[in-house]
Amino acid sequence: MTRTLEIELGSSIRTAVIRELDPLAADALCFDMRRHNEHADVPALVAAVRGLVPSLDEVAGYSLEACVAAMRDLGMFLGSIKRHGPEPVPLVPEVQPVLLELGRRTDMVPRDTVHHYTTWNPTGGRQRMYTGDIQEAYLQESVRMVFPHLREGLELAERLSGSDVADPKFAVLTDELTAHVETMVSSIDMVVANVSPEFFARDLRAYFEEITVDGRVLLGPAAAQVPLWLIDQAIWASDNSEPEYEQFLRDSVPYSLPRWRELYDHWTGIPSVVTRLVEAYGDDPDGAERRMPGLRPSAEALSRLLRVIIVFRGRHLGIARKAYDADLRLYPVGSGGASVDLLRQIVDLTRTTAQLTRRPAGSAAARAERRPA
């Protein structure tokens, strides 16, 4: 077992423990944070975070889970302060060594991430929220509901990346992965139904601004950190991408869990699944299918997977377009540093890849249709 697996932070048991924890005794202050944000009361937010910062000796006594919970709560305050204008760390300089130490202990960036804001956030009365608005709760839930599935999905992608594309088990594994990715569609549907682009653009977006810690600019805990792009990397993007999307991945990967960063490094150095499929088909798709009967079910399963990703991305692009409409938005680009144009480019790339999985099998299918019954 690798070191990163030993401290796998995404496991459901760890997640449940982290949610329960309140190492800084911050429950009440976190609740008050909503009111301070409503009144843009920076002095109150600064005073609160000053009162919460633990000493390094205290941090040394924390479990790994307590380190994560402490980062979660400090991070919510820092993001809140930034929302109202000032860079937070210079206002509470004693927080910086603690952030660095918590980042080191957890092997994550030295600020809170979307994992802290959603999965590791308690639910019910102790839920940490910037605004307290039910629409924010829907957004948190939309991400919370997908993470366990993406975690399973990424491990399935790892198995696919090591499997022969003609192996009969390949299609079964791919369909399992697709079932997990389908939760992304349910998630975005929930957001479209319950979160207005106005609320996101005018009220929430500002809390996901970047902050600077020890000279390093760190992005806020937004949904763009949900690693659908990591599934792309295994399936097609490691060798079929474009420079902007590659850069977006490089910028996003540091915010993911240690295990997922390991997967990214591994997949980046090997041919993607789709490339292997296309190579297996070669110049003679019909002959390839005759020699390898498992090939066509694999291609069809990959096509189904990409279809689901395209459905998510299409609906997601719809709400992103509205929230970043020039008349509504306060920021020209997303908190992940990317534009709606990039999102459109990613949808186009996914569609082009889906064609690659259809063309070889498609030509064989067309020929089969022409055969007399």
CB nearer to ligand HEM: pick between 222 and 263: 222
User: Are residues 105 and 67 in contact, defined by beta-carbon separation less than 8 angstroms?
Assistant: yes
CB of 226 to ligand HEM, least distance (A): 4
The count of other CB atoms within 10 Å of the CB of residue 161 is 19
Kindly state whether residue 200 participates in binding ligand HEM, applying the rule CB under 6 A.
yes
Number of residues that bind ligand HEM (CB under 6 A): 30
- Work out how close the CB of 232 gets to ligand HEM at its nearest, in angstroms, rounded to a whole number: 7
Residue-wise DSSP of 70-90: HHHHHHHHHHHHHHTSS-SGG
* Minimum distance of ligand HEM from residue 137's CB (angstroms): 12
* Binding of residue 316 to ligand HEM (CB under 6 A): yes
Total residue count of the chain as it appears in this document: 373
- Identify the residue among 18, 95, 160, 343 touching ligand HEM (CB under 6 A): 343
Buried-state track 336-348, b at ≥16 Cβ within 10 A, e below 16: bebebebbebbbe
The token pair that represents 218 in the structure block: 């760190």
Considering the rule CB under 6 A, would residue 249 count as an interface residue with ligand HEM?
no
Tokens, residue 270: 């090997």
117-176 residues near ligand HEM, rule: CB under 6 A: 142-143, 146
Answer yes or no: are the C-beta atoms of 99 and 111 closer than 8 Å. Answer: yes
Residue with smallest beta-carbon separation from ligand HEM: 334
Q: What is the nearest approach in angstroms of ligand HEM to the Cβ of residue 179?
A: 16
Give 121's contacts (C-beta < 8 A, 6+ positions apart): 19, 72, 127, 128, 140, 144
- Out of 18, 74, 237, 338, the residue judged to bind ligand HEM by CB under 6 A: 338
Query: Which span (76-84, 210-218, 287-295, 320-328) binds ligand HEM, by CB under 6 A?
Result: 320-328
Show Cβ contacts of residue 119 under 8 Å, excluding neighbours closer than 6 positions.
10, 15, 143, 144, 147
Using the contact rule CB under 6 A, the part of the chain among 60-68, 87-95, 314-322, 365-373 near ligand HEM is 314-322
Pick 14 or 322: Cβ nearer ligand HEM: 322
Give CA–CA dist 189/316, Å, rounded.
9
> Cα 32 from chain centroid?
28
Of positions 42, 71, 157, 191, contacts ligand HEM by CB under 6 A = 191
Between the CA atoms of 252, 254, 259 and 261, what dihedral angle is there, to the nearest 10 degrees?
70
Q: Which is nearer to ligand HEM, 165 or 302 (CB)?
A: 302
The closest of 221, 134, 226, 218 to 180, measured between CA atoms, is 226
DSSP character at residue 92: S
- 340 sits near ligand HEM (criterion: CB under 6 A): yes
| 133: its two tokens | 């608005």
Region from 100-108, 122-130, 235-243, 318-326 binding ligand HEM, contact rule CB under 6 A: 318-326
Binding region for ligand HEM (CB under 6 A) out of 262-270, 281-289, 316-324, 352-360: 316-324
Q: Which stretch binds ligand HEM (CB under 6 A): 24-32, 99-107, 339-347, 359-367?
A: 339-347
Among 44, 47, 173, 319, binds ligand HEM (CB under 6 A): 319
Hunting for tokens 């022409």 — which residue is that? 370
Beta carbon of residue 365, minimum distance to ligand HEM (angstroms, whole number) = 29
Q: Which residues bind ligand HEM (CB under 6 A)?
A: 142-143, 146, 184, 187-188, 191, 195, 200, 222-224, 226, 228-229, 313, 316, 319-320, 323-324, 333-338, 340, 343, 346
